[in-house]
């Protein structure tokens, strides 16, 4: 250390307006430190000192996705860093929000954080009150606006989820009603059989064919509309040629179940010699069996869809789960895509390119889902009615990386550096708050110690999120901004 000279302090822009008594006070309570190249303090360490550069050169860095990003590199006398927000007391962040390095031998004027805080309160009480009001008022405003943004998103998602749940529920109700009619028809046909219109051998054969028909429905092949139409024509002609009334009405069911004319011939051969009405009754009875199986499949699909949506909603909201946990990112992404499926629509192709070897990620899962919601919602909005949405995951050093890309018109180059600013939006008035990307940035960078960037050109915009695969000893990460004079 060396002697502090008040006259030299006055040459620094930070102190040039102070009087002699104040400068003497600074020299008495502060100190001059000479530091060789190397670290002065590291991000996350307790903020104990306020540093003012008098000579030399320094660089200021911040961690982003586990990597140090240089924010400032300067030899400007009077540049300051460190515990500059100590005047806010324990209500604000008390850890260094960046790392400071000396790059060539440097001399600093240093004040302990507590002394700096006392100086600010004694010398500039009105300024401190104004700064406190601005700091905490802005933080509270951001919190309230972020909460409103989440509620608006939740309301939109709830409306979409209600619509998505209503479709399979209505389908299940319709299928149940249809199933009741088909079962009634089967009971009627069974009564006819009981009247002796089929002998025992034929009845046993029909029961076997019924079981075969039920089993076949479960493994019916997927047909294109053109293939299905061609087969319906062939089966309709066969049924009509064999005297089955309204054969064209039941032909689609046999096609959907995967049957062809060879199977129909087997049924006909089984009933060879029986009156025409017996053959027709047998085919209608088998049709009831097929319809019953198809309706039960529809009910099963509908209820499975409802269950999937409910599971996705629970995964998305992280209901009944700890805020901080280690999760599979793919589960979060999939649940978000399900929740946004109505907004995405059928004209947007969703391409999922997942690296399934990606390790689980320690994170605040519900808040990451908000990030995916904001990015996917913006991508869909940018593409309009159609395009390709790509969701990709990969492993990059010690980070999990998520790319969300769209085939929209791109973000104009002159606004790309502003898109993470609060309240900045390219959407028309009333369609965007300008907070989605700001909130996403704070969740990724401040809450998780990660990084989020964008690359955009006409036809392709890609937001990339880096999330560290390891966490510090504490779950909380840096939430304040550092300053550099």
pLDDT of residue 41: 93
Highest mean pLDDT among 187-196, 322-331, 386-395: 386-395
Residue pair 401/354 in contact by the 8 Å Cβ criterion: no
Q: What average pLDDT does this structure show over 339-359?
A: 88
Please indicate, yes or no, whether residues 108 and 169 belong to a single structural domain of this protein: no
Please indicate, yes or no, whether residues 180 and 116 belong to a single structural domain of this protein: no
Q: pLDDT band at residue 34, thresholds of 50, 70 and 90?
A: very high
Q: Regarding predicted confidence, which is higher, 427 or 393?
A: 393
pLDDT of residue 430: 45
Please indicate, yes or no, whether residues 16 and 109 belong to a single structural domain of this protein: yes
Please indicate, yes or no, whether residues 330 and 383 belong to a single structural domain of this protein: yes
Mean pLDDT over each residue of the chain, to the nearest integer: 79
* 130 assigned to some structural domain: no
Q: Is the pLDDT of residue 321 over 60?
A: no
* 224 assigned to some structural domain: yes
Non-local CB neighbours of 381 within 8 Å, separated by 6+ positions = 427
Q: Regarding predicted confidence, which is higher, 191 or 374?
A: 374
Q: What average pLDDT does this structure show over 436-464?
A: 87
The whole-angstrom separation of Cα 307 and Cα 6 is 74
Q: pLDDT band at residue 483, thresholds of 50, 70 and 90?
A: very low
Nearest to 66 by CA among 478, 471, 481: 471
Token duo for residue 84: 């500059």
Q: Regarding predicted confidence, which is higher, 431 or 471?
A: 471
Lowest mean pLDDT among 6-15, 25-34, 135-144: 135-144
Q: ∠425-426-427 over CA atoms, to 5°?
A: 90
Given CA atoms 148, 150, 156, 159 in this order, what sign does their dihedral have?
A: negative
Please indicate, yes or no, whether residues 270 and 170 belong to a single structural domain of this protein: yes
* 31 assigned to some structural domain: yes
Please indicate, yes or no, whether residues 108 and 173 belong to a single structural domain of this protein: no
Which of 123, 144, 176 is the C-terminal boundary of a domain? 123
pLDDT tens string 37-71: 999 999 888 888 999 999 999 998 887 656 777 88
The whole-angstrom separation of Cα 400 and Cα 341 is 25
Angle between helices 113-123 and 125-192 (to 10 degrees): 110
* 484 assigned to some structural domain: no
The domain of 411 spans 323-468
Q: What average pLDDT does this structure show over 390-407?
A: 92
pLDDT of residue 219: 80
pLDDT of residue 198: 63
CATH code for the domain of 21: 2.60.120.10
Please indicate, yes or no, whether residues 364 and 424 belong to a single structural domain of this protein: yes
Per-position DSSP letters for 406-472, written without gaps between them: E-SS---GGGGGGTTSTT--SSPTTT--S-HHHHHHIIIIIITS-EEEEEEETTEEEEEEEEESS--
Residue pair 461/403 in contact by the 8 Å Cβ criterion: no
* 476 assigned to some structural domain: no
CATH code for the domain of 335: 3.30.565.10
Q: pLDDT band at residue 108, thresholds of 50, 70 and 90?
A: very high
* 148 assigned to some structural domain: no
pLDDT of residue 196: 56
Q: Regarding predicted confidence, which is higher, 23 or 166?
A: 23
The whole-angstrom separation of Cα 128 and Cα 210 is 86
Q: What's 445's DSSP letter?
A: I
Lowest mean pLDDT among 13-22, 178-187, 317-326, 328-337: 317-326
Q: pLDDT band at residue 130, thresholds of 50, 70 and 90?
A: low
Q: What average pLDDT does this structure show over 325-342?
A: 86
pLDDT of residue 249: 87
The whole-angstrom separation of Cα 135 and Cα 129 is 10
Q: pLDDT band at residue 281, thresholds of 50, 70 and 90?
A: confident
Q: What average pLDDT does this structure show over 399-409?
A: 93
Q: What average pLDDT does this structure show over 275-290?
A: 79
Q: pLDDT band at residue 101, thresholds of 50, 70 and 90?
A: very high
Please indicate, yes or no, whether residues 162 and 296 belong to a single structural domain of this protein: yes
The whole-angstrom separation of Cα 50 and Cα 52 is 7
Which of 123, 149, 174 is the C-terminal boundary of a domain? 123
Please indicate, yes or no, whether residues 297 and 367 belong to a single structural domain of this protein: no
pLDDT of residue 1: 64
Which of 278, 306, 334 is the C-terminal boundary of a domain? 306
Please indicate, yes or no, whether residues 13 and 105 belong to a single structural domain of this protein: yes
* 461 assigned to some structural domain: yes
Q: How many domains does one find in the chain?
A: 3
Please indicate, yes or no, whether residues 94 and 165 belong to a single structural domain of this protein: no
Token duo for residue 325: 């946990």
pLDDT of residue 389: 94
Q: Is the pLDDT of residue 102 over 90?
A: yes
Q: Is the pLDDT of residue 350 over 50?
A: yes
Q: What average pLDDT does this structure show over 415-443?
A: 68
The whole-angstrom separation of Cα 190 and Cα 207 is 11
- For residue 171, the SS3 value is helix
* 301 assigned to some structural domain: yes
pLDDT tens string 253-267: 888 888 888 888 888
Please indicate, yes or no, whether residues 287 and 426 belong to a single structural domain of this protein: no
Q: What percent of the chain has pLDDT over 90?
A: 22
pLDDT tens string 202-249: 777 777 877 888 887 878 888 888 888 998 899 999 988 888 888 888
């Amino acid at each position: 250390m060396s002697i502090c000279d008040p006259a030299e302090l006055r040459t620094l822009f930070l102190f040039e307006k102070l009087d002699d008594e104040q400068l003497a006070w600074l020299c008495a309570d502060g100190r001059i430190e000479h530091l060789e190249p190397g670290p002065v303090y590291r991000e996350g360490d307790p903020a104990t000192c306020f540093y003012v550069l008098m000579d030399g050169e320094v660089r200021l860095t911040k961690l982003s996705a586990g990597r140090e990003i240089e924010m400032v590199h300067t030899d400007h006398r009077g540049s300051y860093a460190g515990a500059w927000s100590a005047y806010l007391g324990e209500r604000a962040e008390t850890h260094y929000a960046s790392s400071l390095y000396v790059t060539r031998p440097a001399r600093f004027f240093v004040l302990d954080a507590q002394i700096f805080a006392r100086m600010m309160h004694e010398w500039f009480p009105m300024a401190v009150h104004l700064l406190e009001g601005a700091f905490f008022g802005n933080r509270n405003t951001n919190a309230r606006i972020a909460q409103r943004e989440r509620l608006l998103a939740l309301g939109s998602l709830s409306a979409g989820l209600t619509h998505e749940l209503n479709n399979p529920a209505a389908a299940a109700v319709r299928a149940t009603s249809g199933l009741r009619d088909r079962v009634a028809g089967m009971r009627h046909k069974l009564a006819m059989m009981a009247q002796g219109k089929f002998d025992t051998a034929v009845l046993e054969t029909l029961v076997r064919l019924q079981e075969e028909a039920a089993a076949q429905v479960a493994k019916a092949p997927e047909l294109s509309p053109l293939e299905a139409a061609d087969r319906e024509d062939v089966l309709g002609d066969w049924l009509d040629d064999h005297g089955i009334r309204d054969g064209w009405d039941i032909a689609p069911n046999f096609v959907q179940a995967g049957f062809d004319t060879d199977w129909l011939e087997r049924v006909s051969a089984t009933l060879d010699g029986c009156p025409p009405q017996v053959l027709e009754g047998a085919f209608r009875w088998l049709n009831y069996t097929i319809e019953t199986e198809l309706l039960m499949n529809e009910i099963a699909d509908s209820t499975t869809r409802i269950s999937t949506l409910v599971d996705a909603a629970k995964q998305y909201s992280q209901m009944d789960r700890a805020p901080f946990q280690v999760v599979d990112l793919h589960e979060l992404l999939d649940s978000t895509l399900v929740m946004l499926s109505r907004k995405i629509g059928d004209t947007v192709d969703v391409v999922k390119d997942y690296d399934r070897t990606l390790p689980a990620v320690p994170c605040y899962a519900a808040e990451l889902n908000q990030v995916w919601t904001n990015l996917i919602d913006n991508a869909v909005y940018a593409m309009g009615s159609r395009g390709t949405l790509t969701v990709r995951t990969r492993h990059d050093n010690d980070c999990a990386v998520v790319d969300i890309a769209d085939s929209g018109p791109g973000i104009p180059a002159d606004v790309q550096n502003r898109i993470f600013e609060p309240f900045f939006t390219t959407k028309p008035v009333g369609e965007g708050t300008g907070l989605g990307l700001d909130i996403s940035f704070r969740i990724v960078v401040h809450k998780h110690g990660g990084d989020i960037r964008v690359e955009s050109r006409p036809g392709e915009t890609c937001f990339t999120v880096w999330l560290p695969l390891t966490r510090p000893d504490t779950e909380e990460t840096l939430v304040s901004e550092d300053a550099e004079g």
